[in-house]
Amino acid sequence: MAQAQSLENAHVQHHFRSSDQQFSSSKLGMWLFLFTEVMFFGGLFVAYIIYRAWNPELFTMAATELSTVLGGINTVVLIGSSLTCALAIRAAQTNNQKMIVNYLLVTIVLATVFLVIKYFEYTAKFEVGILPGGMYTFEGIDHPKASVFFSIYYMMTGLHGIHVIIGIGLMIWLVVKARAGAYSSAYYTPVEITGLYWHLVDIIWIFLFPLMYLID
């Protein structure tokens, strides 16, 4: 009997008393981590608020340089990826091994599409001399602090982009494990907490998009 129990609970690390305890611990840990992420980005949002309060006209002028269409497409892409990510978790809960992998792959593709669009946005900016900080040479915006807006833009979207790349890495790892049949309704903690992370990456973008692109 003891052996049967240990097979069923093979995923439970020895210091946990039960599978439930392990699952809820992992989830709480992830929520706390997301909280630190909010504080991390929070510093940048505060910088944004302060510089916008000081230079409101700069922000409305500079925002016109950003492509609302590309930003809008990216928003839809990222929200879509959050949906497929949630569906992957649902597939794990219903023991649908094949669909876990498929939904994760779709999520990875959408995340990659986001990065590709972002790449074209960045390079278009670089070509006209909109570079971060001291390298800024663009003359289309008649404001002495124009470079500061784009510094904040690059810091925020760049940091967000790094988070997207990390998310893709995590999901590739999940796909490999899921292919080997590691996840089922009895154990899908990594899928669940990666999903939490991915939703946060999505939400940060949902704040970044209107703050950067949709200022009027």
Partner 1 sequence: MSAAATNGNTLKVRYFDIDENPPKNYLNAESGLKSWLFTVDHKRIGLMYLASIALFFFVGGVLALVLRTELFTPAENLMNAETYNRIFTLHGAIMVFLFIIPSIPAALGNFLLPIMLGAKDVAFPRLNLASFWIYSIGALFTLASLAVNPIDTGWTFYTPYSVQTGSAVILMTFGVFIMGFSSILTGMNFIVTVHKMRAPGMTWGRLPLFIWAMYATSVIQVLATPVLAITLALLIMERTLGIGIFDPALGGDPVLYQHFFWFYSHPAVYIMIVPAFGVISELIGTFSRKTVFGYWAIAMSSLAIAFIGSLVWGHHMFVSGQSELSTVVFSFLTFFVGIPTGIKIFNWLATMHKGSIDMKTPMLYACIFLFLFTIGGVTGIMLGAISVNVQLHDTYYVVAHFHYVMMGGTVMAFLGGLHFWWPKMTGKMYSEFWGRISAVIIFIGFNLTFLPQFIMGSQGMPRRYYSYIEQFQTMHQLSTIGSYVLGIGFVIIAVYLAHSLWKGEKATSNPWGARTLDWMTSSPPLQHNFNYQPVVTNGAYDYHKPISDFTLGISDDVYHGNDHEGDIRKQSAETV
Sites of contact with partner 1 (CB under 8 A): 2, 5-6, 9, 12-17, 21, 24-25, 28-29, 32-33, 35-37, 39-44, 46-47, 50-51, 132-135, 144-145, 147-148, 151-152, 154-155
For residue 108, give the nearest of 18, 15, 198, 9 by alpha carbon: 198
State in angstroms the smallest separation of the CB of 16 from partner 1: 8
Q: For the chain, list the strands marked E by DSSP.
A: none
> 187 — phi, psi (to 5°)?
-150, 110
Task: Tell me whether residue 61 or residue 70 sits nearer to partner 1 (CB atom).
Answer: 61
Do residues 75 and 209 touch, judged by C-beta distance below 8 A?
A: yes
Task: Tell me whether residue 35 or residue 72 sits nearer to partner 1 (CB atom).
Answer: 35
Task: Tell me whether residue 17 or residue 57 sits nearer to partner 1 (CB atom).
Answer: 17
Task: Tell me whether residue 9 or residue 102 sits nearer to partner 1 (CB atom).
Answer: 9
* DSSP type of residue 184: B
- Using DSSP's 3-state secondary structure scheme, residue 187 falls into strand
State in angstroms the smallest separation of the CB of 40 from partner 1: 4
C-alpha pair distances (Å), 152 with each of 29, 52, 65, 93, 215: 30, 11, 14, 41, 15
